[in-house]
Amino acid sequence: MFRHNPVLVQEVLQALRLQASQRYVDGTIGGGGHAEAMLKSSASIGWLYGFDRDGAAVEACQARLAEYSDRCEIRRANFDEMGEWVEAGTCAGVLLDLGVSSPQLDQAERGFSFQQDGPLDMRMDQRQELTAARLLRELEPGELANIFWEYGGESDSRRIAQAIAMDRATRPLERTRQLAELMERISPRGGRKTHPATKVFQALRLAVNDEMGSVRRGLEAALRALQPGGRLAVITFHSLEDRVVKEFGRRLERDYEPAPGMDVPELRRPRPAQLKWVTRKAIAPGAAELRANPRSRSAQLRVLEKL
């Protein structure tokens, strides 16, 4: 059973101002919760393109949205490739609900969670060759440390990478439980609320799936897909993703290109602004949603409009 509780649904619908006769993109269709709400709100002729890298999500979604099959098209693809199917300048709204879905986290064999034992896999797209186990096996300690620091903000990254290198010299490191236990040994909790493996697991997941690269390219692809006045709604779950969205918006709301290196006003090259913020501040779930769906607690919605 593929179950994911979509977050901030009403806020997304409001942000995208859905209308019949317009085209929309859900770049992260997952369990299809947002997509279904978007299709209902754009009845009876609004069109939806849906994308997901995860084959199980695409299959589950195609079944869930069967009654809308005459006005939606769901593909297994990275959202950064949406331009291959969606004609530039034709969409009224794009949604990117980033990160992983509940079924990905909850199914031990997908290897995303340190709370259950499974293979160190972490691939969103299981056709891909690179897995977390392979990164842990093949990268030099310095490269692993960089990943833990850059994608996990793990301040103890060098020591952790060294401990992994020593551990893998004695046995294959292939299971989530092995990595979680290694982290518990080398960084005991000491009163912290979060598990010591949290940052390392997040970092490996982002690296395996090149999530930050996909988001950067995906935002550009979304902007190309939008028509003037079209809206881009992005839900993020951690500060790294959110920073990329903020930087994207800040860069394209400016009506000039700064000089390389330093932003000196006299050296700015004028160009038209391409976007504006619909709301300056990120939209967060309200108390009722937080109570009903604790996984929504880190969600933040940002909304931009193409000029």
Ligand X SMILES: C[S@@+](CC[C@H](N)C(=O)[O-])C[C@H]1O[C@@H](n2cnc3c(N)ncnc32)[C@H](O)[C@@H]1O
Q: Are 124 and 134 in contact (CB under 8 A)?
A: no
Q: Does position 46 bind ligand X by CB under 6 A?
A: no
**CA distances (Å), origin 141, targets 157, 162, 165, 171:** 9, 6, 6, 16
What is d(CA 9, CA 279) in angstroms, rounded to the nearest whole number? 17
Please say whether the dihedral angle defined by the alpha carbons of residues 150, 123, 103 and 68, taken in this order, is positive or negative.
Answer: positive
Q: Does position 53 bind ligand X by CB under 6 A?
A: yes
Please select the residue that binds ligand X; options are 15, 16, 25, 34, rule is CB under 6 A: 34
Contact letters for ligand X, residues 192-231 (x by CB under 6 A): ----------------------x---x-------------
Please select the residue that binds ligand X; options are 18, 22, 32, 206, rule is CB under 6 A: 32
> What is the DSSP code string of 234-260?
EEESSHHHHHHHHHHHHHHHSSEEPPS
Q: Which residue has the tokens 């080398």?
A: 186
Measured from the CB atom, the residue of 11 and 52 that comes closer to ligand X is 52
Please select the residue that binds ligand X; options are 6, 152, 230, 285, rule is CB under 6 A: 6
Q: Which stretch binds ligand X (CB under 6 A): 45-53, 175-183, 195-203, 246-254?
A: 45-53
What is the CA angle 107-200-6, rounded to 5?
A: 45
Q: Which stretch binds ligand X (CB under 6 A): 26-34, 85-93, 136-144, 182-190?
A: 26-34
Site residues (vs ligand X, CB under 6 A): 4, 6, 27-28, 30-34, 51-54, 57, 78-79, 97, 99-101, 124, 214, 218
